């Protein structure tokens, strides 16, 4: 039904996008905001047809998809608000000092401008929020960049439906037709051709480490390298300090079991590693966690490929030296279904075996029982970059364990106190992106308004005549945005 795009089709697509860029970048923020809002309403207008299509392709349940569509339309409106408000473009004005000695100071004005066509790869685990009209697309369109989306092959029909909503919004707002284009591609060749095309300016990707790293490498080998914003794997370490553990082992176990199996563990923020100490509380916690995970009703995973990868990876993980299963759903294995499970290992074994540090995508977690605080610190120092890290502790023991907290901060994009990592708030203060390999570039994030910064670059205008300045930089500040003028924040 959905044919892979050929290289010649990809060339046509990127050429059309580049032509569209010339006009689209000249649209006003208000025009782009209205366009984004219409995408949201057109997506809503697809109604339950869209939800049922996504259900059949992804096995995700109705309420989850209703919620995810709400998040997606919310994101589109958030970026509409952001560019209407306008301060995101980081306008700086340094006025001229013609009489300065020994040299006159020129008039300099700087702002962010869109970088060009962005290629977005749909994510298997977010058929709406990180696919066709998801966060990457919304932030790129908001910045003024055309988007070429490669539909995720596991939900190509869903993607095609969402694309019709965007096409309607383009027509309604008389945007260039190639402002948004949709291509299919089940083979890796399509992705490679898209990233290698000379008119591609940046890439947004959410998915596996193997996939994201491959695109990153291709992009860096181009004659003109381009940024790839790949949000990849994360094991999201959770540290449970002894005092809180001794007080509430069951409550903590239940909260973490729920987080690790939410959406069948198919979130990039699933808590994959749980660090405890070898105490009475720790043992009680492990027991309850095993029971709670085993009691979770197994569900179909996003698609059979993901389910079989989960089966294979969880088997490898639980077969490692010193690893003991704490609990596993007793249900019979069934094609496409993931069986929730949790295992335990000692800190010493964990340190020796890097296989145990790797993400198992799905309803799986590993408890690491540490002998001592120095061992825990050593382990944290050896962990790779993470999207999130969590620490649970009473007020006083958090204060007493700032070395552990600092070590966690060094490896993560988001540090959570007394909370689970799942549930990513879409907010200005959210950082969703961490040091490599959590992301290819931990200086940027994929969630919330700051995601727009990925697709823009600064340009300075020196001694530019007032009439030729972009509105954001005009002396009278017609957009009424926050700017730094001669070093002072003002509106």
Q: Using the CB atoms, write b or e for 403-442: b if 16+ within 10 Å.
A: ebbebbeebbbbbbeeebbbebebeeebbbbbbebbbbbb
Closest to its own copies by CB, 153 or 442: 442
Q: Which of 57, 68, 231, 384 is catalytic?
A: 231
Round to whole Å and give the CA distance between 12 and 60. Answer: 35
Cα distances (angstroms) measured from residue 51 to each of 65, 206, 266: 6, 21, 19
Asked if residue 238 lies in contact with residue 390, where contact means CB atoms within 8 angstroms, the answer is yes
Contacts of 408 by beta carbon, 8 Å cutoff, 6+ apart: 237, 239, 380, 389, 391, 415
* 162, containing H or E segment: helix 156-172
Q: Tell the smallest beta-carbon distance from residue 400 to its own copies (Å).
A: 11
Question: To the nearest whole angstrom, how small is the minimum distance from the Cβ of residue 94 to its own copies?
Answer: 4
Query: How far apart are the C-alpha atoms of 330 and 384, rounded to whole Å?
Result: 33
Nearer to its own copies, 258 or 325 (CB): 258
9: tokens are 């089709």
Residue closer to its own copies, measured from CB, 5 or 36: 36
What tokens were used for 299? 């569900």
Cβ proximity to its own copies: between 2 and 92 the closer is 92
Let me know if 44 is a catalytic residue.
no
Q: Which is nearer to its own copies, 251 or 458 (CB)?
A: 458
Instruction: Summarize as ranges the residues that interact with its own copies (CB under 8 A).
Output: 22, 87, 92-94, 103, 105-106, 108-110, 113, 115, 216-217, 220, 224-225, 227, 384-385, 395, 398-399, 402, 405-406, 409, 412-419, 423, 425, 427-431, 433, 435-437, 440-443, 445, 450, 456-465, 467-468, 482, 484, 487, 489, 491
Q: Pick the closer one to its own copies by CB: 266 or 412.
A: 412
* Minimum distance of its own copies from residue 468's CB (angstroms): 6
CA distances from 430 to 53, 124, 387, 413 (A): 31, 22, 11, 9
Distance CA 234, CA 232 (A): 7
Write the Ramachandran bin of 423: left for phi over 0, alpha for psi from -120 to 50, otherwise beta.
Answer: left
Min separation Cβ 313 and its own copies, Å: 21
Provide the pairing of β-strand 456-462 with 117-121. unpaired
Helix (H) or strand (E) segment spanning residue 460: strand 456-462
| Angle subtended by helix axes 29-45 and 47-58, to nearest 10 | 80
The question of whether 268 is a catalytic residue gets the answer: yes
Decide whether 183 or 226 has the Cβ nearer to its own copies. Answer: 226
CB of 246: closest distance to its own copies in angstroms?
20
**Pair 55, 297: CB distance under 8 Å:** no
Alpha carbon distances (Å) from 131 to 37, 168, 385: 17, 18, 24
| Length of the chain (residues) | 491
**Element housing 195 (H / E):** helix 188-196
Based on CB atoms, which residue is closest to its own copies, 52 or 406? Answer: 406
Alpha-carbon distance of 80 to 74, in angstroms, equals 10
Which residues are CB-contacts of 437 (< 8 A; sequence separation ≥ 6)?
209, 213, 232, 233, 384, 385
User: Least Å distance between CB 285 and its own copies?
Assistant: 21
Tokens coding 398? 């958090």
Give Cα separations from 146 to 23, 37, 485 (angstroms): 10, 16, 31
* Catalytic member of 89, 145, 268, 370: 268
Smallest distance, its own copies to C-beta of residue 461, A = 5
Which residue number, 161 or 415, has a Cβ lying nearer to its own copies?
Answer: 415
Contacts for 88 with CB less than 8 Å, ≥ 6 apart: 82, 112, 449, 452, 453
- Distance in Å, CB of 254 to its own copies, minimum: 17
Cβ 337 to its own copies, closest distance in Å?
27
Catalytic residues: 231, 268
């Amino acid at each position: 039904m959905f044919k892979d795009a050929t290289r010649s089709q990809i060339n046509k697509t990127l050429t059309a996008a580049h032509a569209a860029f010339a006009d689209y970048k000249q649209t006003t923020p208000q025009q782009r905001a209205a366009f984004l809002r219409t995408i949201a309403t057109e997506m809503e207008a697809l109604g339950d047809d869209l939800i049922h299509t996504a259900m059949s392709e992804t096995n995700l349940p109705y309420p989850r998809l209703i919620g995810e569509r709400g998040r997606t339309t919310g994101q589109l409106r958030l970026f509409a608000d952001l560019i209407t408000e306008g301060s995101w473009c980081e306008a700086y004005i340094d006025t001229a000092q013609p009489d300065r000695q020994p040299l006159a100071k020129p008039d300099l004005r700087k702002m962010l401008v869109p970088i060009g066509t962005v290629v977005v790869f749909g994510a298997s685990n977010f058929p709406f929020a990180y696919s066709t009209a998801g966060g990457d697309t919304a932030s790129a369109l908001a910045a003024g960049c055309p988007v070429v989306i490669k539909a995720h092959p596991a939900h190509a029909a869903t993607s095609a439906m969402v694309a019709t909503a965007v096409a309607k919004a383009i027509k309604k707002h008389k945007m260039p037709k190639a402002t948004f284009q949709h291509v299919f591609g089940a083979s890796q060749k399509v992705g490679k051709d898209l990233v290698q095309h000379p008119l591609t300016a940046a890439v947004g990707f959410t998915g596996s480490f193997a996939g994201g790293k491959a695109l990153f490498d291709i992009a860096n080998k181009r004659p003109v390298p381009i940024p790839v914003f790949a949000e990849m794997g994360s094991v999201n370490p959770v540290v449970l300090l002894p005092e809180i553990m001794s007080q509430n082992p069951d409550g903590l176990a239940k909260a973490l079991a729920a987080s690790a199996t939410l959406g069948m563990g198919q979130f990039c923020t699933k808590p994959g590693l749980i660090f405890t100490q070898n105490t009475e509380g720790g043992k009680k916690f492990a027991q309850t966690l095993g029971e709670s995970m085993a009691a979770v009703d197994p569900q179909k995973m996003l698609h059979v490929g993901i389910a079989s990868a989960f089966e294979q990876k969880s088997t490898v993980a639980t077969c490692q030296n010193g690893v003991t299963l704490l609990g596993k759903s007793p249900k019979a294995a069934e094609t496409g279904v993931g069986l929730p499970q949790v295992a335990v290992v000692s800190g010493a074994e964990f340190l020796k075996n890097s296989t145990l540090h790797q993400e198992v995508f799905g309803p799986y977690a590993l408890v690491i029982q540490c002998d001592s605080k120095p061992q825990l610190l050593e382990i944290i120092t050896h962990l790779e970059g993470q999207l999130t890290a969590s620490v649970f502790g009473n007020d006083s023991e958090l204060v007493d364990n700032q070395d552990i907290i600092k070590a966690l901060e060094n490896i993560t994009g988001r540090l959570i106190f007394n909370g689970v990592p799942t549930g990513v708030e879409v907010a200005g203060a959210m950082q969703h992106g961490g040091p490599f390999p959590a992301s290819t570039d931990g200086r940027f994030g994929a969630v919330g308004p700051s995601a727009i910064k990925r697709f823009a670059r600064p340009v300075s205008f020196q001694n530019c005549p007032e009439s030729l300045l972009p509105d954001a930089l005009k002396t009278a500040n017609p957009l009424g945005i926050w700017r730094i003028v001669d070093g002072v924040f003002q509106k």
